[in-house]
Amino acid sequence: MSTALLIEQILNGLQFGVMLFLMAAGLTLIFGVMGLINLAHGSLYMIGAFACAAVAAATGSFWLGLVASLAAAAAAGALVELVVIRRLYDRDHLDQVLATFALILIFSEGTRWLFGSFPLYLDIPSALSGAVQLPGGGRYPLYRLTIIGVGIAVAVGLYLLISKTRLGMRIRAGESDREMIAALGVDIRTLYTVVFALGAALAGLAGALVGALQSVQVGMGEPVLILAFVVIVIGGIGSIKGALVGAILVGLVDTLGRFLLPKLFAAFMGPAQGATAGAAIASMLIYIVMALILAFRPKGLFAANA
């Protein structure tokens, strides 16, 4: 096993992690601030990917597609919040799950109706199509490095937004006492719409960025949604910092587990059996990690200070 390969796998894990972070950040904000379980978050990811692919195909520009993905996902998020979600805040979680599950079906069928069942493909923009020399002799795609960079930039931006701006203070205040912040003159309903649209835009961004790595198709959001829920449970619901740490942890553990465990088991079980056993454990690994973390920190790593 060469160092170059290990570094490459670590970078893959990071890239996967920051992509999960973009999903989980919105999900944890919506869950933490409004107490809403939004299963349709994966649909917003899909909408971002489709908007990017469609606009990029029509205009020839990935960058216009990226802007379209943000706009489409934020608009879809705001619309869904105004029409459906707003009625769910005071309902229990089961109602929320049912209603947002219905939204998944509506969005999936709607997308199939508009774009058909065949996957769309999105090309990596030419400016980011090369590879970068890694220490140890390997090469790594520039585009994946860029995703890592975007994820870090979003994390810093969100941190500043939440901790330094008045909007962020109001979001946190609403998290701890929604009635009180309203009684002080803050329009909590509009605030919720803004938070929801922001979370949706981040999911859309993740969808667009990943769309250039894999095919853009109906149902692409749900597997990611499940992982994003794992991330926010590990990180502590409502915590952006927790979402970042949880996402990187899940990304690295999953990627490195799939890479290293088969080799490890092969060392003492023989290559064939070892590879099978290693792969089986690797696919369970993030859930094992989640269970362990919850056993010791039932509220997650960075439970919100409330």
Partner 1 sequence: MSLLEISGLESFYGASQALFGVNLRVAEGEVVALMGRNGMGKTTTIGSVIGLVRPRNGAIRLSGKDVAGMQPHRIARLGVGLVPEGRRCFPNLTVHENLVAAARPGVWTLARINELFPRLEERRDQYANTLSGGEQQMLAVSRALMTNPKLLILDEATEGLAPVIRQDIWAAIRRLKAEGQSILVVDKTLSELLPVADRCFVLEKGRTVFSGRPNELTADLQDRYLGV
Minimum distance of partner 1 from residue 191's CB (angstroms): 10
- Identify which of residues 109 and 187 has a Cβ nearer to partner 1 in the complex: 187
- Identify which of residues 92 and 179 has a Cβ nearer to partner 1 in the complex: 179
User: How far apart, in whole angstroms, are the C-alpha atoms of residue 239 and residue 29?
Assistant: 7
Minimum distance of partner 1 from residue 215's CB (angstroms): 42
Minimum distance of partner 1 from residue 181's CB (angstroms): 6
- Identify which of residues 165 and 273 has a Cβ nearer to partner 1 in the complex: 165
Binding residues vs partner 1 (CB under 8 A): 166, 169-170, 172-173, 175-177, 179-188, 304-306
For residue 180 the two structure tokens come to 């009180």
- Identify which of residues 200 and 304 has a Cβ nearer to partner 1 in the complex: 304
What is the sign, positive or negative, of the torsion defined by CA atoms of 55, 59, 62, 66? negative
The amino acid at residue 131 is A
- Identify which of residues 170 and 258 has a Cβ nearer to partner 1 in the complex: 170
Please report, in angstroms and rounded to a whole number, the separation of the first and last CA atoms in the chain.
Answer: 46
Minimum distance of partner 1 from residue 299's CB (angstroms): 14
Which residues lie across from 133 on neighbouring strands? 139
User: How far apart, in whole angstroms, are the C-alpha atoms of residue 133 and residue 136?
Assistant: 9
List helix spans (H) across the chain: 3-34, 41-59, 62-83, 93-115, 142-164, 166-176, 178-183, 188-211, 221-235, 240-269, 271-296
Minimum distance of partner 1 from residue 169's CB (angstroms): 4
